[in-house]
Structure formats: structure tokens, C-alpha cells
Amino acid sequence: MIFLPASTALLLAALSRLGNATPLLSTGQKCRNVPGSAGFPAPTAWNAFNSTISGRLVAAIPSAEFCVNRGGCTDAEWTSAVFRNHIPGAMNQINWEQGYDLTPPSLCVVNGTACGQGDVPLYSVEAQTVADVQAAVKFATTNDLRVAIKSSGHDYLGRSTAPHSLLIHTNNLTNLSFTDAFFVGNESLGSAVTVGPGVHLTLIYQESKALGRIAVGGSAATVCAAGGYLQGAGHSSLSPTFGLAADNVLEFQIVVASGELLQVNSITNPNLFYALRGGGAGSWGVVVSATFRTFPTFNSTFGLFTLSAANNKAMAALATLHAQHIFDFEATNSSQYFIVEADLTGTTTTSTMTLETYMINQTVEQSQAIIAPFLTAAQALPGVAIVSSKYTYGLMNDLLNHPDDSVGNDLVMGSRLIPESTYRNSPETVGEVYQQLLDAGTPIIFGNLVAGGKVAENANIDSAVNPAWRTAKTHLIVINGWLDSTSQDNVNALRSKFRNTQLPILEQMSGPNAGSYSNEADVMEADFQTTFFGPNYAKLSAIKSKYDPDDLFIVGAGVGSERWDEWGLCTV
Ligand SMILES: Cc1cc2nc3c(=O)[nH]c(=O)nc-3n(C[C@H](O)[C@H](O)[C@H](O)COP(=O)(O)OP(=O)(O)OC[C@H]3O[C@@H](n4cnc5c(N)ncnc54)[C@H](O)[C@@H]3O)c2cc1C
Ligand SMILES: *[C@@H]1O[C@H](CO)[C@@H](O)[C@H](O)[C@H]1NC(C)=O
Ligand SMILES: *[C@@H]1O[C@H](CO)[C@@H](O)[C@H](O)[C@H]1NC(C)=O
Ligand SMILES: *[C@@H]1O[C@H](CO)[C@@H](O)[C@H](O)[C@H]1NC(C)=O
Ligand SMILES: *[C@@H]1O[C@H](CO)[C@@H](O)[C@H](O)[C@H]1NC(C)=O
Ligand SMILES: *[C@@H]1O[C@H](CO)[C@@H](O)[C@H](O)[C@H]1NC(C)=O
Ligand SMILES: *[C@@H]1O[C@H](CO)[C@@H](O)[C@H](O)[C@H]1NC(C)=O
Ligand SMILES: *[C@@H]1O[C@H](CO)[C@@H](O)[C@H](O)[C@H]1NC(C)=O
Ligand SMILES: *[C@@H]1O[C@H](CO)[C@@H](O)[C@H](O)[C@H]1NC(C)=O
């Protein structure tokens, strides 16, 4: 998905609803060492460890405390993903820094003066080398510490932070290199790029441009390809043309729980290669590099259209029309982010639909012809108006390149992959679902038309990518947010709103057992094993027990997490 304007997200709290909180309790048997437990390393042991990693151990603090300590952060800094990347304790969505479920809750909100540590790690290893990563993994294993791994801190499920943990921060591993012939065994798999986990997508678009190449990457500037993106599956506006990002990976280098650095590809450690392509971020080890294909680049047209609907009924009609026309993009493998937003001030019944469309390899004239049937029909709908339309023609690298992403909000989401058959057979269901979601006070419904085409054709690839991707047309996300001033009860209601209210509505469109993309999802999914991993879960569990027998790498709703409490601190 792409980033929201800061103003949008700051208004999300207007949509807060009351509801019952779901307390999450832990009844631990075996627990990781935390400050105060007998096995927790003494200060001398931390100091000795710090010397082995050239002094790259820092005490992590919440981002709000970091800002207060440096005499304040501007609003532009607070909402900048690039700025937050350099704060070891920071997450991009600040709700993940908060310990809402700790007893008592431990919070640190913007400009807060009395700050708790919340869910922020204790210490961070600011890794510069593979040896730093290996030392951190060995220190954590020896001392039975909770480990968290972070590259960009973008994670929408809070999986790159954990209370009382040692963070392995891979933001500084920024190597990047291209080759015309990447070898696995004695076979050249062609042109490829190898990146460290600290490399942002935007840098890949910029650097590949000079070579006349492009790689499959997401719409966000600051997501890290070799971090969580590829491990989740990685969708892109180029996916209908070239497949998912995970479909294009050739090799990983990873430090596993034993501390060993492993080469992982179709020949060497093939089981881990299977797992790292779709088996879920953060569950396998610390990835220190990933290699994936590049393609000859080309020009495309980016079409940005905003439509308004006077009320939910008009938006429902527009959503049905959009569903009926979704196949208009198929012949060219074009892709689209389609975002419906309620009036976040809550003062009118007007909602908007924004269409960010990548017409692949098309001129502006060709693109106008592709979109015209939809826009013409939309204009004829009662209560619907076209607010603006804009076309930008250029190299795909430039169309995808942004300097930064706007973050710094409190938000959670839930999602489902929507089968192509829904759009083909019952597009009117789409409108009904949108109407019910909006009527239920949903602020944002975020659609990703990034499947079909090559994503469907790649069904034969033997990887952990959820097979629901192969029959999907879109990935649909429902977003809920709040302000720091929202009460804890309302925050808890919003955290549970997807499960309690929105999912039953969405399932009318997806069917009851549809999958979801694990990187843009609800960490509280009731049956995450099936929803995120489908039939692959048993195989993934077996691979995990081989490479991570003691569950060093546990993340929320990740493989093996059913054995652990919400924080990955005690077994259940
Ligand atoms: C603004 C925005 C736009 C987005 N757009 C898209 C999009 O277009 N397409 C798409 O598919 N997704 C998109 N996403 C979702 C994105 O793929 C996930 O948030 C992804 O997990 C980010 O990976 P990261 O490493 O950058 O984030 P982090 O928060 O640093 O990490 C995410 C997960 O990966 C693990 N991880 C991070 N680094 C490593 C490492 N070196 N080794 C092992 N595990 C690691 C973490 O432990 C965590 O579980 C978007 C997210 C945002 C915030
Ligand atoms: C680690 O060592 C460096 C360099 O000596 C020092 O600046 C830093 O404060 C130490 N970290 C911790 C957590 O003590
Ligand atoms: C926090 O304080 C800074 C000044 O240090 C100010 O610019 C900013 O607007 C404040 N943010 C909020 C949300 O109050
Ligand atoms: C490592 O990261 C820190 C903090 O994010 C940054 O200040 C520093 O320049 C980085 N160093 C390298 C070598 O990338
Ligand atoms: C980065 O590349 C340099 C030069 O090839 C290499 O020496 C170094 O080990 C690499 N670092 C990492 C973390 O992979
Ligand atoms: C390497 O190439 C030879 C001959 O081309 C082939 O027989 C052999 O199987 C290949 N080895 C691998 C590991 O692919
Ligand atoms: C993209 O379009 C520009 C301007 O029309 C043209 O100069 C350039 O050669 C095109 N690039 C590709 C890769 O087709
Ligand atoms: C774009 O169009 C050109 C010219 O028709 C073609 O050679 C190229 O393969 C196309 N690229 C993609 C990604 O479709
Ligand atoms: C669309 O993608 C598919 C799958 O890669 C490919 O077979 C087809 O040629 C592409 N169509 C166009 C117009 O490029």
C-alpha cells in the first residue's frame, strides 16, 4: 500500500467507537530473561558484549522520549519515516511503541514528559557488519534473551519491536550491488541486485535507473526489500507484470539462531529458501542480504484520479462500478491502489475514492482510453463527481521514486485477499460490502490491485507464498486509527474492531476462508496460521524447528508464535 497524507491519519480518531476491550493475559511456564530475573546479564556482561561489537550497543528509548531529550522534534520530523529510521527505539506507527497490554499500561506519547518504556526494546545493536549480527545472536542465545529484528520499523503488526528485548537493528547494512549474471550453482540466473536489509526501495529504483533496469518493489520509499517485505511475499505495482517480489528472489544470506551465516538458495538450504519467500517476516533469522532479479526498465503512465460520493449509497454504487471495470486493466498488466476514505472530520456524509493507477508500458493517450469507460460511467452515477484527474508519463523508476513516507500515527489494520471470482461473478457484492463498512464507521478501505497476471501464472513456484495470492485479484485492507488522546478503552475497541465488526462484513466479499497478506494485516487474527500461511503452515513449522529449535525468533502471528504469549516472553 502507499502512505496516507499526515492530515488524513491525524483525523482518524474522529471515527473512534466504543466497545469491549479484550485483555490479553500470560500464564508463562518457561520465560525469557528480563531485568530482575536471575539469568539476566549483569552490567559487566553487557559491557563485555558491547566491546565485542565495537561499542555499537545503545540503550533504546521511545521516539517521543528521544524527541524530548533532543529539545523537541518538528512535526515534519515526527512524521518522517527517514527521520524515524535513525532512532533505534522508534516504530513508524507509534502505537507499536506503547505497552497497552502491560500491567499497568506503559505509554510514551508525543511530547510526553512521563514516559514508560512500553513495548520498546531495552538495548539495540546498531549492526554495521555480519559479525555484529552474529555476536548479538550468540549473546541472546547464551543469555536466553528476547530478540527483536528491525530494518525500517514499518511493520503494521508491531513485529519489529518487543518489550524487554535486545533489538538487532539492521538499518545500517546498506550494501547494494548489481550483476548481469548471478550464479546459483553453475547456472547464471541473469541480471540481479543484491542488497543489505537497510537499503530502502527508493534507493533500488534510483540506482537501477542508471543501468536501465527495474526491480519488483513496493510503493513505499522507505520499506526495506531485504527486511520484512520479501519474507512476507512483497506486492508491487509491477506484480501483474513480473510476479510478487518473493517470486523473484534468487538468494538470501542469513544469520540463523546458531549464529552461523548461511547461504540460502534453490540448491543450498532449499527448505529455508522456501520459508523465506512468503513464510513470514522475522521468524527465521537475521537476513543480512537478499538477491533478486532486475528487468529492463520502461516508461509508464501514472494516473491519479479523485472521485467523490455524496453518501455511502453513492459510494457503494461507485465501488460496484469500480469492481465491474477492474478487468479493464488486465490486458496491459496495469495496477492500481484504490483508496476509499470517509470524511474523517465526521461533519459530512461525503467520501472519496482515490485511484493511483500505474498503466504499465502505456502512453498517456493509451491510458486515457483504458480509464475512460470507468470515468464516463462514474460521472453518470447519482451523487458521484470526478474531483481531479492527472496523468504523469515517465520511467517506471521515477514514477515509483519518493523521498520519504509519511508516518508517525496510531493505526492498525485487517485485510483479506479478494478472489478474482468475486469481481467476475458478483461485483455488486463489492458495493454492498463498502456500504456496510462505511456505515459501521470504517475510516479507510485501502485496495491494492496488484495480483492476477504473472502473480497467478507463478502458482507453480514452490515457495511459502500463501496460495490465496494466486487466485486473488486484489488485497483489501481496512484501516482503523486513533489519536494519542483517545482513551485506553476506545483504543482497545479499535484494536479489536477488525475482528469483531469489519471482518464478518469483508468475508461477504472474500469468502469465509480467504487468505490475507501477512505484512498488511491484523496481528490479532484468530487463526493466523491458516489466514496468513494457508496449507503451508505445517511445513513451515517443521522448517522452523530445524533452523530455530529454541524459538529465538518469535513475532506476533508468526510461525511458532502459538507457543508464546503476546510479547514472546513466556511460553503458554
Ligand atoms: C508506508 C508503507 C507502504 C507499504 N507499501 C507496501 C507495498 O507496496 N507492498 C508491500 O508488499 N508491502 C508494503 N508495505 C508493508 C511492508 O512490506 C511491511 O511493513 C514490511 O514488513 C516492511 O519490512 P521492513 O523490514 O521495512 O520493516 P520492519 O518493521 O523493520 O520489519 C518488518 C518485519 O520484518 C522483520 N525484519 C526486518 N528486518 C529483518 C532482517 N534483516 N532479517 C529478518 N527479519 C527482519 C522484522 O522483525 C519484522 O517482523 C508498506 C508499509 C508501509 C508502512
Ligand atoms: C557501548 O560502548 C560505547 C562506546 O564505548 C558507548 O558509547 C555506549 O554507551 C555503550 N553502550 C552501552 C549500552 O553502555
Ligand atoms: C511537540 O512539540 C513540538 C516542539 O518541540 C511541536 O512543534 C509539536 O507541534 C508538538 N506536537 C504535538 C502533537 O503537540
Ligand atoms: C548508522 O546509523 C546511524 C544511526 O542511524 C547513522 O547516524 C550512521 O550514519 C550510520 N552509519 C553508517 C555507516 O551507515
Ligand atoms: C558490504 O560490502 C563490503 C564490500 O564488498 C564487504 O566487505 C562487507 O562485508 C559487506 N557488508 C555486509 C554487512 O554484508
Ligand atoms: C554444472 O554443470 C554441469 C555441466 O554443465 C552439470 O552436469 C552439473 O549438474 C552442474 N552442476 C550443478 C550444481 O548445477
Ligand atoms: C521513455 O520516454 C522518454 C521520453 O519520451 C524517452 O526519451 C525514453 O527513451 C523512454 N525510455 C524507455 C526506456 O522507453
Ligand atoms: C514494453 O513495450 C515494449 C515495446 O512494445 C516491449 O518491447 C517491452 O517488452 C514492454 N515491456 C513490458 C514490461 O511490458
Ligand atoms: C502481462 O503479463 C503476462 C505475465 O507475465 C505476460 O504473459 C503478458 O505478455 C503481459 N502482457 C503485456 C501486454 O505485457
Query: Quick check: CB of 100 below 6 Å from ligand 7?
Result: no
Q: How far apart are CA 244 and CA 551, in angstroms?
A: 28
The pLDDT of residue 346 is 84
Query: Quick check: CB of 46 below 6 Å from ligand 7?
Result: no
Instruction: Count, in order, helices (H) and strands (E) of the chain.
Output: 21, 20
Residues 138 and 150 in one domain: yes
Residue 567 inside a domain? The answer is: no
Residue 550 inside a domain? The answer is: no
What string of DSSP letters covers 483-549? -TTS-HHHHHHHHHHIIIIIHHHHHHHH-TT----TTSS-TT-TTHHHHHHGGGHHHHHHHHHHH-T
List beta partners, residue 80: 406
The pLDDT of residue 344 is 86
Residue 283 inside a domain? The answer is: yes
The pLDDT of residue 27 is 52
Task: Report which protein residue has its CA nearest ligand 4's atom 11.
Answer: 172
Q: Residue 50: is its pLDDT beyond 90?
A: yes
Residue 539 inside a domain? The answer is: no
Query: Quick check: CB of 176 below 6 Å from ligand 3?
Result: no
Band of pLDDT at residue 113, cut at 50, 70 and 90: confident
Structural domain boundaries enclosing 50: 8-169
Tell me the average pLDDT of the chain.
94
The pLDDT of residue 147 is 98
Residues 219 and 163 in one domain: no
Q: Residue 8: is its pLDDT beyond 70?
A: no
C-alpha 177 to ligand 7 mean position (Å): 25
Residues 183 and 152 in one domain: no
Residue 106 inside a domain? The answer is: yes
**pTM here?**
0.95
C-alpha 232 to ligand 1 mean position (Å): 8
Which CATH number is 149's domain given? 3.30.43.10
> How many domains are contained in the chain?
3
| Ligand 4 pocket, residues with Cβ under 6 angstroms | 86, 126, 171-172, 174
Q: How far apart are CA 197 and CA 148, in angstroms?
A: 14
Residues 142 and 205 in one domain: no
Mean pLDDT of 167-182: 98
Q: Residue 120: is its pLDDT beyond 60?
A: yes
Q: Residue 11: is its pLDDT beyond 60?
A: no
Residues 251 and 332 in one domain: no
Query: Quick check: CB of 402 below 6 Å from ligand 9?
Result: no
The pLDDT of residue 23 is 31
Task: Give the end of a domain, one of 296, 322, 355.
Answer: 296
Mean pLDDT of 66-95: 96
Residues 42 and 160 in one domain: yes
Q: Residue 369: is its pLDDT beyond 70?
A: yes
Residues 288 and 305 in one domain: no
Mean pLDDT of 90-111: 96
Residues 337 and 478 in one domain: yes
Q: What percent of the chain has pLDDT over 90?
A: 93
Ligand nearest to the CA of 295: 8
Q: pLDDT by residue (tens digit) across 124-155?
A: 999 999 999 999 999 999 999 999 999 999 99
Q: What percent of the chain has pLDDT over 70?
A: 95
Task: Give the end of a domain, one of 530, 550, 567.
Answer: 530
Task: Give the end of a domain, one of 296, 312, 347.
Answer: 296
* Ligand 8 atom with minimal separation from the 295 CA: 13
| Ligand 1 pocket, residues with Cβ under 6 angstroms | 1-3, 92, 149-156, 159-160, 170, 197, 218-220, 223-224, 227-229, 232, 234-235, 281-282, 286-287, 405, 519-520, 555
C-alpha 93 to ligand 3 mean position (Å): 17
Residue 69 inside a domain? The answer is: yes
Residues 45 and 163 in one domain: yes
Band of pLDDT at residue 311, cut at 50, 70 and 90: very high
Residues 141 and 98 in one domain: yes
Residues 508 and 447 in one domain: yes
Band of pLDDT at residue 440, cut at 50, 70 and 90: very high
Mutation pick for ligand 3 pocket among 110, 482, 483, 485 (CB with most ligand atoms within 8 Å): 110
Which CATH number is 417's domain given? 3.40.462.20
